[in-house]
């Protein structure tokens, strides 16, 4: 018997495959690349301090652990069209889970017809997800996939009518499971018993479509575009940076760190791009065609020292972390003569971090110099104290080659930046509500992140 299963690599799909393998079934896993997987995105940014586990393809990892082949399929343009216009609507965020399941199971069925197989299986659990895993939704999905009777859900099989593989005796129904509900306790106990210990956090997010922040940007995009004209690239850009809608047809994306700067620099596509050269400023990409006052606003946002400082500090911290890792590895195992030159080259590469640290301190100096006692001397004094502390932290990081003080400086800066963003939001709200606040630009502005 050969079964084709959707294998995301999460706990449920891995267990479902295990249950069938234990019955001697040959299993082939299908892993869809949808363009909305968080791990794929982390991998494409490859931040130096990212945990490698959070960048791996869990489907491939689970396939290797289970010893089964995995086919990675590109969900393609048709998937994007479905996401933008789902027949069965969205869940709480931008997640069209029912249509998504139908799309993937349909694809697995196609694969089965083409390559041979007897039935399709999934790791779905009755009652686990409010939108797509209640009984009615499971029945609907099976019906619309066109493989009625040939879709097995091994984890909840005992709560569901017997499928053809069970009725024909290909599968022993008694050895299937009867899990039901949102708790993962049973799955975890079963996986421990089966020696399955390496899997992503069961309740951890892995799909951008179910992420609150992404969903806000996604629906903003749908609202301000002709849905049928939205391109894949525009969806990719929803995952990075800070997004500010400055006018109904103009939105900007501001990179948050060096990794996002590099990512955005690959997506220029002939539109406007703002950057303050040679000072470590964030890259700002513009969607739409801004008029002159809006261009001036974008320039002032891009050159805002707080954003520039933020990007520099992140670069400095990443470099210092690398520096510290190299150093502690060398202390544990000093490089032999052959490896020494490579080792010192890698340490020298961290000089980028030192340069970023220098630039950060200049930024802080400029911010300090720009604080005026008017109109609020008390606020000016506390801001000064804050930036003096940041400056001292950076000096300590430099002298000690230690990333920790940079982290403290970043935390302080984060508070300061949030205050700045809230102030901008209040200005926008005041304007749209007909209040007395000054407008920040022509056009109806709003902040989508
Ligand atoms: S969370 Fe994302 S990948 Fe999972 S079913 Fe919903 S839309 Fe599809």
Residue with more model confidence, 369 or 298: 298
Tens-place pLDDT, residues 234-285: 999 999 998 988 888 999 998 888 889 899 988 866 789 999 887 667 899 9
Q: Which pTM was predicted?
A: 0.79
Plot region of 355 (φ>0 → left; ψ -120 to 50 → alpha; else → beta)? alpha
Tell me what percent of the residues of the chain surpass a pLDDT of 90: 55
Residue with more model confidence, 27 or 363: 27
Q: Given this model, what pLDDT does residue 258 score?
A: 81
Distance 70 CA to ligand 1 centre (A): 19
Distance 100 CA to ligand 1 centre (A): 6
Say how far apart CA 164 and CA 119 lie, in whole Å: 9
pLDDT of 77 > 90? The answer is yes
Say how far apart CA 402 and CA 396 lie, in whole Å: 8
For the CA of 131, the closest atom of ligand 1 is 6
Average pLDDT of every residue of the chain: 85
Which residues, in sequence order, are CB contacts of 136 under 8 Å at separation 6+? none
Distance 211 CA to ligand 1 centre (A): 10
Distance 131 CA to ligand 1 centre (A): 10
Tokens of 243: 């997004």
CB under 6 Å to ligand 1: residues? 95-97, 100-101, 207, 209-210
pLDDT of 73 > 90? The answer is yes
Distance 141 CA to ligand 1 centre (A): 14
Q: Given this model, what pLDDT does residue 222 score?
A: 96
Fold of 2-206: Rossmann fold (3.40.50)
Q: Cβ distance 72 to 186 under 8 Å?
A: no
Q: Cβ distance 95 to 207 under 8 Å?
A: yes
CA-closest residue to ligand 1 atom 2 = 207
Say how far apart CA 335 and CA 330 lie, in whole Å: 6
Q: Given this model, what pLDDT does residue 159 score?
A: 97
Q: Compute the radius of gyration of the chain from its Cα atoms.
A: 26
For the CA of 34, the closest atom of ligand 1 is 3
DSSP-assigned letters across all residues of 424-446: HHHHHHHHHTT-SSPPSSSS--E
Distance 248 CA to ligand 1 centre (A): 29
- CA angle (257 as vertex; 253, 262 as ends), nearest 5: 75
For the CA of 208, the closest atom of ligand 1 is 2
Tokens of 73: 């399929």
> Edge-to-edge strand order for the sheet containing 242-247?
273-274, 284-287, 250-254, 242-247, 446-447
Tokens of 33: 């690349």
For the CA of 91, the closest atom of ligand 1 is 6
Say how far apart CA 363 and CA 279 lie, in whole Å: 9
316 burial (CB, 10 Å; 0-12 / 13-18 / 19+) is: buried
Distance 158 CA to ligand 1 centre (A): 24
Give 444's pLDDT tier (boundaries 50, 70, 90).
very low
Q: Given this model, what pLDDT does residue 169 score?
A: 96
Distance 102 CA to ligand 1 centre (A): 11
Residue with more model confidence, 124 or 337: 124
CA-closest residue to ligand 1 atom 5 = 97
Residue (of 356, 365, 418, 421) closest to 390 by Cα position: 365
Say how far apart CA 128 and CA 13 lie, in whole Å: 13
Tell me what percent of the residues of the chain surpass a pLDDT of 70: 80
Distance 97 CA to ligand 1 centre (A): 5
Which residues, in sequence order, are CB contacts of 70 under 8 Å at separation 6+? 7, 28, 29, 30, 31, 59, 60, 62, 63
Domain residue limits, the chain: 2-206, 209-302, 308-432
Say how far apart CA 84 and CA 210 lie, in whole Å: 14
Q: What is the mean pLDDT of residues 19-30?
A: 98
pLDDT of 146 > 70? The answer is yes
Give 254's strand partners.
242, 284
If one residue of 82, 91, 94, 95 were mutated to test the ligand 1 pocket, choosing by the most ligand atoms within 8 A of its CB, it would be 95
Q: Given this model, what pLDDT does residue 443 score?
A: 35
Domain 308-432 CATH (choose: 3.40.640.10, 1.20.930.40, 1.20.120.340, 3.90.1150.10):
1.20.120.340
If one residue of 32, 92, 96, 203 were mutated to test the ligand 1 pocket, choosing by the most ligand atoms within 8 A of its CB, it would be 96
Tokens of 46: 């490859």
Give 337's pLDDT tier (boundaries 50, 70, 90).
low
Give 246's strand partners.
none
- CA angle (389 as vertex; 387, 392 as ends), nearest 5: 110
For the CA of 83, the closest atom of ligand 1 is 7
Give 1's pLDDT tier (boundaries 50, 70, 90).
very high
CA-closest residue to ligand 1 atom 6 = 97
Say how far apart CA 373 and CA 49 lie, in whole Å: 39
Q: Given this model, what pLDDT does residue 153 score?
A: 98
Tens-place pLDDT, residues 85-113: 999 999 999 999 999 999 999 999 999 99
Quick one: how far is CA 134 from the chain centroid? 27
CA-closest residue to ligand 1 atom 3 = 207
Which residues, in sequence order, are CB contacts of 355 under 8 Å at separation 6+? none
């Amino acid at each position: 018997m050969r079964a084709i299963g959707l294998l995301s690599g999460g706990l449920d799909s891995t267990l479902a495959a295990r249950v069938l393998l234990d019955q001697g079934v040959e299993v082939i896993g299908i892993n869809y690349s949808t363009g909305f997987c968080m791990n794929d995105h982390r991998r494409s940014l490859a931040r130096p301090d990212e945990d490698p586990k959070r960048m791996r393809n869990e489907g491939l990892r689970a396939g290797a652990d289970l010893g089964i082949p995995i086919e990675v399929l590109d969900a393609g343009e048709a998937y994007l069209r479905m996401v933008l216009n789902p027949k069965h609507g969205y869940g709480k965020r931008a997640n069209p889970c029912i249509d998504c399941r139908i799309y993937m199971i349909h694809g697995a069925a196609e694969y089965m017809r083409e390559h041979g197989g007897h039935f399709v299986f999934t790791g779905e659990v009755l009652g686990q997800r409010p939108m797509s895993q209640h009984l009615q939704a499971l029945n609907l999905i099976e019906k619309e996939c066109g493989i009625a009777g040939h879709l097995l859900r091994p984890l909840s099989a005992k709560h569901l009518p017997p499928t053809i593989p069970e009725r024909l005796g290909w599968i022993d129904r008694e050895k299937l499971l009867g899990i039901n509900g949102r708790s993962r306790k049973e799955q975890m106990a079963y996986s421990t018993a089966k020696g399955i210990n390496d899997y992503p956090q069961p309740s951890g997010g892995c799909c951008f479509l179910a992420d609150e922040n992404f969903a806000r940007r996604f629906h903003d995009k749908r609202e301000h575009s002709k849905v049928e004209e939205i391109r894949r690239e525009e969806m990719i850009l929803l995952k990075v940076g800070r997004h500010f809608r400055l006018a109904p047809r103009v939105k900007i994306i501001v990179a948050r760190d060096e990794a996002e700067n590099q990512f955005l620099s690959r997506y220029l596509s002939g539109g406007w791009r703002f950057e303050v050269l040679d000072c470590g400023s964030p890259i700002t990409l513009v969607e739409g065609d801004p008029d002159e006052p809006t261009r001036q606003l974008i320039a002032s946002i891009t050159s805002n020292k707080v954003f520039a400082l933020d990007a520099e500090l992140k670069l400095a911290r990443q470099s210092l972390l690398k520096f510290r890792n190299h150093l502690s590895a060398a202390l544990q195992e000093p490089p032999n003569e052959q490896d020494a030159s490579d080792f010192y080259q890698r340490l020298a590469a961290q000089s980028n971090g030192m340069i970023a640290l220098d630039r950060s301190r200049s930024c802080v100096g400029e911010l300090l110099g720009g604080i005026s006692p008017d109109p609020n001397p008390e606020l000016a004094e506390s801001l000064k104290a804050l930036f003096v502390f940041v400056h001292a932290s950076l000096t300590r990081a430099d002298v000690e080659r230690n990333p920790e003080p940079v982290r403290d400086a970043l935390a302080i800066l984060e508070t300061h930046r949030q205050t700045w963003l809230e102030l901008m939001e209040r200005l926008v709200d005041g304007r749209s509500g007909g209040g007395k606040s000054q407008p920040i630009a022509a056009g109806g502005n709003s902040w989508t992140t």
